[in-house]
């Protein structure tokens, strides 16, 4: 399908995300759907014909494909939010305006801290441009396998420190990640969400790519998100981008609640001068942004050498709840839980399917 171009955009069908994942191969009979935005798309007939020809040319002239390519509209093809992750209570996206502000560090530590509070936690690393969760959990070499469960092949998440993990990094060569086009990355993520055996979870955290992208739209269209946490440093350039991110999520078309802001790298305290605070990236920038945009400030995390080191070693500081940093992340997890509970009281989740 990558050899067939959609004349509307010039992209190939795979790139454009137009090939549905419902392909069936039964002997020589192949059937699948192509997804078009509107049922009135003028290119439907010619694209379906080109797709048939491509199968006959590149697979085999023997393939029974004529009449077996059906057409679906985007609306029909999109999984209804609520159908996916039906055994997950709260789905929380972690985002940032720009890269390098500590989004993945905060996500990894939040995930571990939530398990310390007794919750069942899943973590999806959707940061296509720099999937760092495998490193932060020391599972870079893990290769998740699929198992046949209830008649379906399902990917089994890797479990580490009590957190169920899947990362786009398990499936993509990191050097190739930036070459991935929107449609391909979005399809891969849909699979990691819909075709993995996540089981029952209290919290499903998604480490989103920085900024605003197709991936964000895929996630908000695919899942009923409880809300989003935005991570920023207090630096004005980071805050400007964080503000853009907040506006994207609260835009009436997207309409995802902001659960709160996390100010990371809020200050630096040298070990030998424990009472001194140096505001390297500026002071209280995210705190002020939270006040201005009327969103909760979930916490302020200082710059600590141990946070960086433990991230690189794959042992998040939150693993030891008795250390000052461990406690800090427990407090952060606590404020997240409070905000999520508040949301759920105001607007009970609609996507939970109670199993009796
Ligand atoms: P992002 O996911 O936003 O790109 P990362 O979580 O990968 O950012 O963090 C970028 C770098 O900064 C990493 O090397 C990480 O270890 C380090 N880092 C993040 N937060 C802190 C912190 N509070 N103190 C010290 N180093 C930090």
Whether the pLDDT of residue 254 is over 90: the answer is: no
Selected residue with higher pLDDT from 44 and 75 = 44
Give 354's pLDDT tier (boundaries 50, 70, 90): very low
Sole residue written with tokens 């590149």: 58
pLDDT recorded at residue 33: 92
pLDDT at residue 217 greater than cutoff 80: yes
Q: What is the pLDDT of residues 124-171, one digit of tens each?
A: 999 988 899 999 999 999 999 999 888 888 999 999 999 999 998 888
Residue 32 has pLDDT above 80, yes or no: yes
Lowest mean pLDDT among 11-25, 283-297, 320-334: 11-25
Confidence of residue 349 (pLDDT cuts 50, 70, 90): low
Q: Token pair 């014909």 is at which residue? A: 49
The pair of three-digit structure tokens given for residue 69, joined into one six-digit string: 């390519």
Topology classification of domain 88-343 = Rossmann fold (3.40.50)
User: What confidence score (pLDDT) does residue 355 get?
Assistant: 44
Three-point CA angle 261, 107, 94, nearest 5°: 50
Lowest mean pLDDT among 20-29, 78-87, 168-177, 215-224: 78-87
CB 131 within 8 A of CB 168: yes
Give me ligand 1 centre to Cα 151, in Å. 41
CB 303 within 8 A of CB 314: no
Q: How far apart are CA 16 and CA 7, in angstroms?
A: 11
- 102 pLDDT higher than 70: yes
Residue 110 and residue 121: Cα distance in Å, rounded?
10
Given the CA of residue 265, which atom of ligand 1 is nearest to it? 23
**CATH class held by domain 1-77:** alpha beta
- Judge if the beta carbon of residue 132 lies within 6 A of ligand 1: yes
Please tell me if the CB atom of residue 265 comes closer than 6 angstroms to any atom of ligand 1. yes
pTM: 0.79
Please identify, by atom number, the ligand 1 atom nearest to the C-alpha of residue 311: 16
Question: Which of the four pLDDT bands, split at 50, 70 and 90, describes residue 93?
Answer: very high
- Contact 306 CB / ligand 1 (< 6 Å): no
Average pLDDT over residues 168-186: 73
**pLDDT averaged over every residue in the chain:** 90
Residue 91 has pLDDT above 60, yes or no: yes
234 ligand 1 Cβ < 6 A: no
pLDDT at 253 over 90: no
Give residue 102 CA to ligand 1 midpoint distance, Å.
Answer: 4
pLDDT of 356 strictly over 50? no
- Domain chopping of the chain, boundaries: 1-77, 88-343
Q: How far is the CA of 155 from the centre of ligand 1 (A)?
A: 29
**For residue 351, what pLDDT band results from cuts at 50, 70 and 90?**
low
Question: Could you tell me the pLDDT band of residue 313, with boundaries at 50, 70 and 90?
Answer: very high
Q: How much distance in Å is there from the Cα of 4 to the middle of ligand 1? A: 42
Ligand 1 centre from 303 Cα, in Å?
9
pLDDT digits (tens, 9 = 90+) for 184-208: 788 888 889 999 999 999 999 999 9
pLDDT digits (tens, 9 = 90+) for 257-282: 999 999 999 999 887 887 899 999 99
Give me the mean pLDDT over the 17-31 stretch. 86
264 lines ligand 1 (CB under 6 A): yes
- pLDDT (0 to 100) of residue 212: 86
Nearest CA to ligand 1 atom 9: 102
110-124 pLDDT tens trace? 999 999 999 999 999
Chain centre distance of CA 78: 17
Q: Is the CB of 307 under 6 A from ligand 1?
A: yes
């Amino acid at each position: 399908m990558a050899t067939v171009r959609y004349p509307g955009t010039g992209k190939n069908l795979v790139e454009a995300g137009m090939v549905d994942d419902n392909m069936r191969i039964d002997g020589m009979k192949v059937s699948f759907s192509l997804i078009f935005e509107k049922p009135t798309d003028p290119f439907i007939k010619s694209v379906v014909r080109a797709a048939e020809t491509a199968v006959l040319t590149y697979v085999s002239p023997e393939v029974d494909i004529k009449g077996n390519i059906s057409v679906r509209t985007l609306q029909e093809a999109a999984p209804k939010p609520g159908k996916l992750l039906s055994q997950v209570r709260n789905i929380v996206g972690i985002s940032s305006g720009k890269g390098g502000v500590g989004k993945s560090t905060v996500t990894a530590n939040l995930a571990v801290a939530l398990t310390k509070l007794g919750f069942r936690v899943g973590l999806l690393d959707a940061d296509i441009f720099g999937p760092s969760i495998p490193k932060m959990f020391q599972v870079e070499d893990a290769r998740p396998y699929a198992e046949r469960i209830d008649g379906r092949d399902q990917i089994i998440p890797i479990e580490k420190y009590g957190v169920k993990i899947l990362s786009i990094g398990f499936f993509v060569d990191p050097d190739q990640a930036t070459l991935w086009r929107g449609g391909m990355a979005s399809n891969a993520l849909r699979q990691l969400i819909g075709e993995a055996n996540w089981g029952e979870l209290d919290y499903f955290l998604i480490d989103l790519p920085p900024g605003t992208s197709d991936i964000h739209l895929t996630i908000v269209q695919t899942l009923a998100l409880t809300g989003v946490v935005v991570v920023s440093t207090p630096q004005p350039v980071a805050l400007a981008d964080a503000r853009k991110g907040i506006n994207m999520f609260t835009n009436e078309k997207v309409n995802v609640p902001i659960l709160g802001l996390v100010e990371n790298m809020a200050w630096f305290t040298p070990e030998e001068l424990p009472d001194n605070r140096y505001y390297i990236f500026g002071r209280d920038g995210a705190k002020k942004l939270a006040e201005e945009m009327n969103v909760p400030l979930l916490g302020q995390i200082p710059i600590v050498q141990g946070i960086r080191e433990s991230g690189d070693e794959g042992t998040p500081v939150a693993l030891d709840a008795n250390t000052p940093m461990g406690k800090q992340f427990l407090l952060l997890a606590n404020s997240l839980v409070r905000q999520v509970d508040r949301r759920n009281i105001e607007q009970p989740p609609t996507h939970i399917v109670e199993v009796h």
